[in-house]
Amino acid sequence: MFETLTEKLQTVFRRLRGRGQLSEPDVRQASREIRLALLEADVNFRVVKDFIARVEARAVGQEILESLTPGQQVVKIVNEELIQLLGAKAAPLDLGGDQPVVMLVGLQGGGKTTSTGKLGRYLMSQGYSPLLVATDVRRPAAIEQLQVVGQQIGLPVFARGDRESPLAIAQAALSAGRREGRRPILLDTQGRTHIDSELMAELAEMRVAVSPREVLLVVDAMTGQDAVNVAGEFQRQLGVTGFILTKLDGDARGGAALSLTAVTGQPIKFIGVGEKLEALEPFHPDRMASRILGLGDVLTLIERAEAAVDEKEAADLERKLRENRFDLEDFLAQIQRLRKMGSLDHLISMIPGIGRLRGPVEVDSNALVEMTAIVQSMTPDERADPSLIDGSRRRRIARGSGRSVQGVNQLLAQFRQMKQMIGQFTEMERRGRGRGIDLLGR
């Protein structure tokens, strides 16, 4: 989403880094370019004005102008001010009390029902036992959609059809959740194509009746400043405690993410970074600022890896690597773990330094899918010993995977190269241990 903004900011910073000292006109020119980049990214103009004023106030001064690395100092200032603009620090959910309730509100099409399921899955991974509640009785198939989502993630869905009022359904769900020991209760509420008084009255009545710990507005990042306007109206009429910003993996300019907190005073708590139900992340202002500036997001990348890798499996894999017994079955397992971590585009964007490369990094998002199909078309014996795969077997594997023989040959060649590299590395590691050095860090 922030690709264009990142490129423009990095162009400004490259120009600053190339100078030994900065004059006040240099800083003023850089701030004008940053202002233009933010406005083109659809950031609220008042937010941009305040942001640039703070950056200039800190950057124009003897401490910066006489610095040996003034360009780096300006980057540091912009980074710190971006963090403040995005909310300063992560805002966790308030799930205190015996039976916390979380209301998810928003307009139709913003991803509210899917976000309810994503949030339920995330909380389940944190040790909670949520109950999903379908109170949207107006949108066709909304109840069925939440039931399908609940089935996919293994969570119960409380529903009463479309004959009862949303408030009655919510109150009955609280009683059912209390009996079953479910917490928190996640309410998927009704939406509209636009804000109207009837919608707000229904939501306000429900808020008073169920006393939610959180009221999360689900906002579509692709709608730009419209999302900020909607957020301001919900905040004024209903009062929200935070936001779930969806479709942050899209190609919108990103202005909503940079404007929401500054305009409403409420934090972004989660971001949706894909269509899959696991594609929901807690929002960290410092990490997002780092991504926007092209500095990567190593902490989130590590958390994704830790969530995808089982410690015992990792130990078994290390032993196989040391003994050079890595086969196509292990290769398939690693591909599947990588796919669990999210899209390749998103993962690569978290690597520091990628943003400073000239030109876009081309990633074939279907490559892992194709590799998986080819390996799964092999027999267990073929996975364990690829040397068995002769011409006729390659044709059979190609037919079974829906790929070409050339694709099968390419995968086998890549695997052979990987095996060779692993063998070289383990040999170096054995020699290093003989000299008191362990390349694997043991």
156: CATH: 3.40.50.300
Eight-class DSSP state of 94: -
Same domain, 240 and 312: no
User: Is residue 309 situated within a structural domain?
Assistant: yes
User: Is residue 96 situated within a structural domain?
Assistant: no
Same domain, 168 and 134: yes
R_g of the chain computed on alpha carbons: 26
Length of the chain: 442
Same domain, 377 and 426: yes
At residue 272, what are phi and psi to the nearest 5 degrees? -95, 125
Contact 255, 222 (CB under 8 A): no
- At 165 the pLDDT is 92
**409 contact partners, CB below 8 Å, separation of at least 6:** 394
Query: Distance between CA 43 and CA 28 in Å, rounded?
Result: 20
Same domain, 324 and 374: yes
Same domain, 195 and 47: no
**Terminal Cα-to-Cα distance of the chain (whole angstroms):** 40
Query: Distance between CA 121 and CA 46 in Å, rounded?
Result: 37
| DSSP-derived 3-state class of residue 221 | helix
DSSP string, 243-267: EEEE-TTSSS--HHHHHHHHHHS--
User: Is residue 290 situated within a structural domain?
Assistant: no
Domain end: 53, 85, 117, which one?
A: 85
User: Is residue 399 situated within a structural domain?
Assistant: yes
**1 contact partners, CB below 8 Å, separation of at least 6:** 221, 248, 249, 250, 251, 252, 253, 254, 257
- At 180 the pLDDT is 94
Same domain, 113 and 57: no
Same domain, 125 and 273: yes
Query: Distance between CA 152 and CA 313 in Å, rounded?
Result: 25
Domain end: 60, 85, 110, which one?
A: 85
Quick check: pTM over 0.85? no
Contact 16, 293 (CB under 8 A): no
Domain end: 59, 85, 111, which one?
A: 85
- At 429 the pLDDT is 58
CATH number, position 342: 1.10.260.30
pLDDT band (50, 70, 90) for residue 16: confident
Domain that holds residue 134: 101-285
User: Is residue 404 situated within a structural domain?
Assistant: yes
User: Is residue 296 situated within a structural domain?
Assistant: no
- At 184 the pLDDT is 97
Please report, rounded to a whole number, the percentage of residues in the chain having pLDDT higher than 70: 79
- Structural domains counted in the chain: 3
Q: What is the pLDDT of residues 68-83, one digit of tens each?
A: 466 777 888 888 899 9
Count of other CB atoms within 10 angstroms of residue 190: 20
Same domain, 141 and 75: no
pLDDT at 418 over 60: yes
CATH number, position 61: 1.20.120.140
Same domain, 32 and 152: no
pLDDT at 32 over 80: yes
- At 56 the pLDDT is 87
Beta 268-272 vs 280-282: how paired, if at all? antiparallel
Its sign, for the CA torsion 322, 328, 332, 338, is: positive
Tokens of 172: 């009955």
User: Is residue 232 situated within a structural domain?
Assistant: yes
Query: Distance between CA 433 and CA 421 in Å, rounded?
Result: 18
Query: Distance between CA 324 and CA 328 in Å, rounded?
Result: 12
pLDDT band (50, 70, 90) for residue 433: low
pLDDT band (50, 70, 90) for residue 64: low
Same domain, 420 and 350: yes
Q: What kind and span of H or E run contains 280?
A: strand 280-282
Tokens of 64: 């910066």
Q: What is the pLDDT of residues 108-166, one digit of tens each?
A: 888 899 999 999 999 999 999 999 999 998 888 899 999 999 999 999 999 997 788 99
Same domain, 44 and 179: no
Contacts for 324-330: CB closer than 8 Å, 24+ residues apart: 324/419, 324/422, 324/423, 324/426, 326/418, 326/419, 326/422, 327/383, 327/384, 327/385, 327/386, 328/375, 328/378, 328/382, 328/383, 328/384, 328/386, 328/415, 329/380, 329/383, 329/384
- Least confident piece of the model among 103-107, 192-196, 283-287, 401-405: 192-196
Contact 190, 218 (CB under 8 A): no
- At 227 the pLDDT is 85
Same domain, 380 and 243: no
User: Is residue 291 situated within a structural domain?
Assistant: no
DSSP string, 176-187: HHHHHT-BSEEE
Q: What is the pLDDT of residues 290-322, one digit of tens each?
A: 888 877 544 555 555 555 556 666 667 667 766
Query: Distance between CA 292 and CA 357 in Å, rounded?
Result: 14
